[in-house]
């Protein structure tokens, strides 16, 4: 899930940049006016893409932390099992 969110974030960023460049390159005479019109939604789309990519990275890190915690718990349990006194019957 984290990798998917990172990829979606990157795609959104690239699509927003491509759309902005395409809209600004159409007519150089009105490029400044178009830049004022295009800039708000391009910046918001880029920020959304960055947030999605960051959230995906955070999910991947949390997944790695969870796996490491489970491994440590298993190792700790193995140590406790070895040190437990055996009862003779």
For the chain, list residues with pLDDT below 70: 86-89
Q: Is residue 21 part of a domain?
A: yes
C-alpha distances out from residue 6 to 16, 46, 50, 58, 86, Å:
16, 13, 9, 10, 51
**Which pTM was predicted?**
0.75
- What is the distance between the alpha carbons of residues 57 and 32, in angstroms, rounded to a whole number? 36
At 83, list the tokens: 């040190």
Domain that holds residue 15: 2-81
Q: Is residue 88 part of a domain?
A: no
pLDDT of residue 42: 94
- What is the distance between the alpha carbons of residues 14 and 34, in angstroms, rounded to a whole number? 19
Q: Is residue 45 part of a domain?
A: yes
pLDDT of residue 18: 94
Residues in CB range of 6: below 8 A, 6 or more apart: 52, 53, 56, 57, 60
Instruction: Indicate the number of domains in the chain.
Output: 1
Q: Is residue 87 part of a domain?
A: no
- What is the distance between the alpha carbons of residues 81 and 13, in angstroms, rounded to a whole number? 52
What DSSP designation does 88 have? P
């Amino acid at each position: 899930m984290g990798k998917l969110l990172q990829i979606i974030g990157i795609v959104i960023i690239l699509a927003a940049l491509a759309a902005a460049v395409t809209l600004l390159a159409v007519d150089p005479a009105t490029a400044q006016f178009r830049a004022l019109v295009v800039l708000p939604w391009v910046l918001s789309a880029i920020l959304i893409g960055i947030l999605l990519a960051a959230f995906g990275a955070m999910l991947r890190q949390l997944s790695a932390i969870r796996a490491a915690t489970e491994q440590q718990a298993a190792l700790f349990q193995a140590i406790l099992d070895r040190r437990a006194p055996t009862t003779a019957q």
